Amino acid sequence: DEAIQSYKRAVEQDARQPQTFINLGGVYLKQNRFTEAEKNLRYAVKLDPDMAIARERLGLCLYRQRKYEIALAQYAQALRLNPRSAPAHLGTGVTQMAMYLQDNSRTELKSQAIEHWQRSLQLNPDQPNLKTILQRYSSPDAAPLGSEG
Please check whether residue 130 is in contact with residue 124, taking contact to mean a CB–CB distance below 8 angstroms. Answer: no
H or E stretch at 67:
none
Distances (CA, A) of 134 to 41, 42, 69, 88, 111: 29, 30, 22, 16, 11
Please check whether residue 91 is in contact with residue 55, taking contact to mean a CB–CB distance below 8 angstroms. Answer: no
| Per-residue pLDDT tens digits of the chain, which is 149 residues long | 766 565 565 556 566 789 888 998 999 999 999 999 999 999 999 999 999 999 999 999 999 999 999 999 999 999 999 999 999 999 999 999 999 999 999 999 999 999 999 999 999 999 999 999 999 998 765 545 444 43
